[in-house]
Amino acid sequence: MNAQRRRGPKERGRKGRRIARATSTVDAPPYITRKIPVYELASEELLALVEENTETVLEEIGIDFRDDPQALQLFRDAGALVEEERVRFPRGMCREIIQRNAPNEFTQHARNPGRSVQIGGDHAVFVPAYGPPFVRDLDSGRR
C-alpha cells in the first residue's frame, strides 16, 4: 500500500517554486553616502546671477496656480500679489519661505521601514523615474 507522504517546507516541483517566489525577499543594497568632496560646478557669482534672475521672473511674471484657491489664499495671506490664478512674489519671499520650512535632510518613509531612505546631506538615492505624471500645455491642457 502506498502511504501518502507529507512534504515539508521544501516542496518540490511547481508548487515549491511558487512558494519560493512568494516568500522570497530581495535585500536592498546599502545606501550610498558621498565620501568625496563636493565639486562646485558654478561659481558664487554665477549662482548669485541665477538667483537674481529667478527673483526677477517671480516678481514680474509670477507663477500660475490653476484650480487651487486654497494655495492662492495662502500666498495672499503671506504677502504675495495674487491676480486671478497668477501669483507674483516680492523679492526674497520665496527664499525666506524655503529657508524657514525646508530641512537640509529628511527621511522619506516607506511602508516597509527597512526601505525608508534618507534624502539630503551626503546621501545619494537612485530611483527609476521618468517625469511628472501630468503636464499642462496651452493647446491641449492637462495630458
pLDDT in tens, 52-88: 999 999 999 999 999 999 999 999 999 999 999 999 9
Q: How many CB atoms lie within 10 A of CB 74?
A: 14
Residue with cell 558664487: 44
- CB within 8 A of 9, min separation 6: which ones? none
- CB within 8 A of 34, min separation 6: which ones? 122, 123, 124
pLDDT in tens, 17-52: 888 777 767 676 667 788 888 888 899 999 999 999
Which three cell numbers mark 37? 568632496
Phi, psi of 49 (to 5 degrees): -65, -45
